[in-house]
């Protein structure tokens, strides 16, 4: 939490203490002078506000301290304890007010002087309460502070209870009901305070018991489940602590995901959760899952688990079962015996994964560790190759043009790469088969090609 935020919260809490001291002193003095139980009830209410404001001030200061070794989740729950203490004080005060009101109504009628000073006192009280409740509510909402919100609630109830007392004093002034309207006003004040205190108490206890904010868990789960790569949200736990939200998620991701893939999806999850709960502290646990995997994802998952580098995977089904062909990359310095042992290990793991596997063919090839050295062909050397390349491309009507032809001589032969422009409306499968067929024709027409890379580009439809 930044120093400016701390200062803003502490300032508004401190001004509330000053306001509560002023209101309490004024109401006690006028209530004692007039004998109004309603004003004395309000004085008790304001005294409670003073205690609550002091608790809030010290709670806000304490809760703003950063986490430490003994409190790794911070000190925000001090605000919740503060709000609970305020609630208990409210109930005790209401008990006293109700007792005194019943005494005056049925057993010990009292005299009330509804003087101009009494009316002026309640008017000033309403003005101060209105000012403080607005200031506290604004800062509480801005920084999600439950202690400041509870303090604002105290001042808001003061407004309504003061209005009720004003009504009781007015009836006394008009000579209606003797001193009973004042006692009845005090009872109404007590009931209002009990109602507000009950709501605040429930919310405070929910926070202390780590109750998840209503609907937040479902909202986060739904948003995370829609992210690409998330197979399922296995667990979502949300709890609040002061103005902080702690989110603990366990999600299922594809087994073939690398550590980098899992880290990337974790960041995506954090971004989504922060869009819902900006102050959330998030822990994400990614669990490899075989859910919704196709055959090729399962093969990649087995290879990743055994740290095998594989490519050029092909699989097909027959009446005898499934056949898998793939290329396995190994260290160039390995002996053939050790390389074959690695291939056999991969084969065993694949057979354990696929019960229906009929056979597997593993082509072993050395893994490239450093870029190979190549020499660009001169224009004179490249000219006959380019002529044969363009002639071969013209055999395929779907190929509209061939561009960026590069020819390089390597130790194993000629390396060819070029861009083939193909109708944009064709499917990916059609384009892939077309590129494969073109490569076959090129190798037949130009025998010294060692590697052919065809970069397919969509040709805009006229």
Domain 216-289, architecture per CATH: 2-Layer Sandwich (3.30)
Q: How confident is the model at residue 355 (pLDDT cuts 50, 70, 90)?
A: confident
Q: Identical fold at 295-366 and 375-459?
A: yes
Give tens-digit pLDDT for 312-336: 999 999 988 999 999 999 998 889 9
Enumerate the domain spans of the chain: 3-208, 216-289, 295-366, 375-459
Which two structure tokens, joined as six digits, stand for 160? 């309504």
What pLDDT, on a 0 to 100 scale, did the predictor assign at position 172? Answer: 66
Tokens representing residue 456 in the block: 């397919």
148: confidence class by pLDDT, cuts 50, 70, 90? confident
CB-side exposure of 213: number of CA atoms within 13 Å?
A: 15
- CATH assignment of 3-208? 1.20.1510.10
Model confidence at 110, in pLDDT bands (50, 70, 90)? Answer: low
For helices 259-276 and 216-225, what crossing angle results, to 10°?
140
At the fourth CATH level, which superfamily is domain 295-366? Cation efflux protein, cytoplasmic domain (3.30.70.1350)
pLDDT at 435: 93
Distance CA(181)–CA(160), nearest Å, equals 16
Residue 292: predicted pLDDT: 81
Burial class (CB in 10 A: 0-12, 13-18, 19+), 355: exposed
Q: In DSSP terms, which residues pair with 414 in a beta bridge?
A: 409, 449
Please check whether the domain covering 375-459 is classified as CATH 3.30.70.20: no
DSSP readout, 32-57? HHHT-HHHHHHHHHHHHHHHHHHHHH
pTM: 0.56
b (16+ CB within 10 A) / e for 285-324: ebeebeeebeeeebbbbbbbeeebebeeeebeeeeeebeb
Which tens digits make up the pLDDT trace of 366-379?
887 677 788 898 88
Tell me if residue 257 falls in helix, strand or coil.
Answer: coil
Whether 146 contacts 242, CB under 8 Å: yes
Instruction: Give residue-wise pLDDT tens across range 416-448.
Output: 999 999 988 889 999 999 999 999 999 999 999
């Amino acid at each position: 939490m930044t120093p400016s935020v701390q200062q803003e919260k502490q300032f508004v809490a401190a001004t509330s203490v000053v306001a509560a001291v002023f209101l309490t002193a004024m109401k006690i003095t006028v209530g004692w002078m007039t004998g109004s139980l309603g004003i004395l009830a309000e004085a008790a209410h304001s005294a409670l506000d003073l205690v609550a404001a002091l608790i809030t001030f010290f709670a806000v200061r304490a809760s703003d301290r950063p986490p430490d070794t003994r409190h790794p989740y911070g000190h925000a729950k001090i605000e919740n304890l503060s709000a609970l203490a305020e609630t208990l004080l409210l109930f005790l005060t209401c008990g006293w007010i109700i007792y005194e009101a019943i005494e005056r109504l049925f057993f010990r009628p009292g005299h009330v002087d509804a003087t101009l000073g009494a009316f002026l006192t309640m008017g000033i009280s309403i003005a101060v309460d209105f000012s403080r409740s607005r200031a506290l509510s604004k800062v509480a909402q801005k920084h999600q502070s439950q202690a400041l919100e509870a303090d604002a609630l105290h001042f808001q109830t003061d407004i309504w209870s003061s209005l009720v007392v004003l009504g009781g004093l007015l009836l006394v002034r008009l000579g209606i009901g003797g001193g009973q309207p004042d006692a009845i006003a005090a009872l109404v004040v007590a009931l209002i305070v009990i109602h507000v205190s009950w709501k605040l108490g429930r919310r405070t206890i929910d926070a202390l018991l780590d109750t998840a904010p209503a609907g937040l868990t479902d909202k986060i789960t739904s948003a995370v489940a829609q992210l690409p790569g998330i197979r399922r949200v296995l667990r979502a736990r949300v709890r609040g602590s002061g103005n902080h939200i702690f989110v603990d998620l366990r999600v299922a991701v594809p087994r073939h995901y690398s550590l980098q893939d899992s880290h990337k999806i974790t960041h995506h999850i954090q971004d989504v959760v922060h869009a819902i709960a900006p102050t959330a502290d998030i822990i994400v646990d990614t669990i490899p899952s075989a859910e919704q995997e196709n055959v090729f994802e399962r093969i990649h998952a087995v290879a990743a688990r055994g740290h095998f580098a594989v490519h050029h995977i092909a699989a097909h089904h027959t009446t005898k079962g499934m056949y898998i062909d793939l290329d396995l990359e190994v260290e160039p310095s390995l002996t053939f015996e050790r390389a074959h042992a690695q291939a056999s290990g991969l084969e065993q793991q694949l057979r354990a994964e696929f019960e229906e596997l009929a056979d597997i063919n593993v082509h072993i090839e050395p893994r490239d560790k450093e870029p190979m050295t190549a020499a660009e062909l001169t224009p004179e050397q490249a000219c006959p190759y380019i002529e044969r390349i363009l002639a071969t491309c013209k055999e395929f009507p779907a190929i509209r043009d061939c561009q960026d032809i590069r020819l390089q001589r390597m130790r194993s032969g000629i390396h060819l790469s070029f861009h083939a422009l193909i109708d944009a409306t064709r499917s990916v499968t059609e384009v892939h088969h077309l590129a494969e067929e073109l490569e076959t024709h090129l190798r037949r027409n130009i025998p010294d090609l060692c590697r052919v890379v065809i970069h397919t580009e969509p040709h805009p439809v006229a």
